[in-house]
Amino acid sequence: MSSIPYTIAEVTPEAVTELLSQRTGWTDLSIASLESAPVGTGQMANSYRLTLEYTIRPDGAPDTVIAKMSSTDPDSRQMGAATGAYQREVLFYQHLADLTDVRAPDCFSAQITDDHHDFLLLLEDMGPARTVEQIGGCTPDQADSALGQAAALHAGSWGHATLTEQSWLPVEHVWNALAGALPEIVDPWLQRFGSYLEPEHVDVLHRLGREIPAWLATLSEHRTLWHGDFRLDNLLFDAQDGRTRIAVVDWQSVAAAPGVIDVSYLLGTSLTEADRVAHERALVGEYHRRLLSAGVTGYDADRCWLEYRAHALYGLVLTVPVSLGVASTERGDAMFGAMARRVAQQIVDNDSFTALTAVTG
């Protein structure tokens, strides 16, 4: 086909026509004109809503699509390519989006260059939707709705053959590189974000740097699909003007690992400290009940709770290196600072280092 449009300037009616017309039943599709507008707050990629006017419009062709592509910021772009984030999202939509009942956007086209620095996704538009500000946090009921999607993702992929058939899904090498650098980057990170933390949180960061090998060892269990960035910025509530209760977006970190990491990360980063303390045990219990209802066996509630406590560490394992590797913005820094503070307190409250020893021992 013709050259793939990997920048918004290259997204023309002709280029989008060629991509969308490859979908079954849309062979005769023809777009006369389009308008684009930025959407979202992604740190490593840029997204645009394309409003389409058709010359020929087959049944089911959408009024709008979301075009997602590499960041224009050099640091964010390098981080996306170096960590495999761009490749993972494209491969998720190409091979895994229909594996489970999780509500992700439909994908009309997924393209990436051989060097993985440039990509293009044309996705179902989930708007209008209600977003919940990451910095402010969500309600326990909203967290429960989100965990319904986590359970669908994890139960639907639990022990599935695809987890070993897709050679790109293991992610140990990525986190060995990112998390392995934690002892060296904690001090630079604290210079930028330390004002958000209490002294006991700083102690957690330094201890995490010493004990990170034990957490990394848990990733060798390729139990389920793991979203990897399961937080409010990547959840759309009352999507498509209320027709979809909740949708999960941003699959740049998807991997094979213990899925309960998503549960720890969501509750640690997205609830206020008070709400988490009051509701986390019940929310984790309901998540576990959903797994059993979906057919998961051999995973008892005590083990689920123990792993939830241990994997609270992931919130800092992710936040520290990623926040240093993307462009500094007022909103971005405030978001990462708030997330780190909440997660550090989650680790303290749940004695996560002791739980990790029990999980790995």
Boundary (domain end) residue, out of 59, 89, 124: 124
Question: CA-to-CA distance for 308 and 334, rounded, in angstroms?
Answer: 26
84: left (phi over 0), alpha (psi -120 to 50) or beta: left
Q: Give the pLDDT mean for 301-306.
A: 98
Boundary (domain end) residue, out of 63, 94, 124: 124
Q: Give the pLDDT mean for 48-70.
A: 98
Question: CA-to-CA distance for 273 and 4, rounded, in angstroms?
Answer: 45
Higher pLDDT, 321 or 119: 119
* Residue 192 CB burial class (10 angstroms; 0-12, 13-18, ≥19): middle
Residue 3 counted as domain residue: no
**Residue 330 confidence (pLDDT):** 86
Residue 324: pLDDT above 90? no
pLDDT tens figures, 3-12: 899 999 999 9
The verdict on 268 and 354 lying in the same domain is yes
Instruction: Output the pTM of the full model.
Output: 0.94
**How many structural domains does the chain have?**
2
The verdict on 159 and 113 lying in the same domain is no
Q: Give the pLDDT mean for 326-345.
A: 89
The verdict on 108 and 188 lying in the same domain is no
Residue 43: pLDDT above 80? no
3-class secondary structure for 121-172? EEEECCCCCECCCCCCCECHHHHHHHHHHHHHHHHHHCCCCHHHHCCCCCCH
**Domain residue limits at 56:** 8-124
pLDDT tens figures, 249-260: 999 999 999 999
**Lowest-confidence segment of 54-63, 112-121, 305-314, 330-339 by average pLDDT:** 330-339
The verdict on 175 and 309 lying in the same domain is yes
**CATH number of domain containing 332:** 3.90.1200
Could you tell me the pLDDT band of residue 2, with boundaries at 50, 70 and 90?
low
Q: Give the pLDDT mean for 182-190.
A: 93
The verdict on 120 and 237 lying in the same domain is no
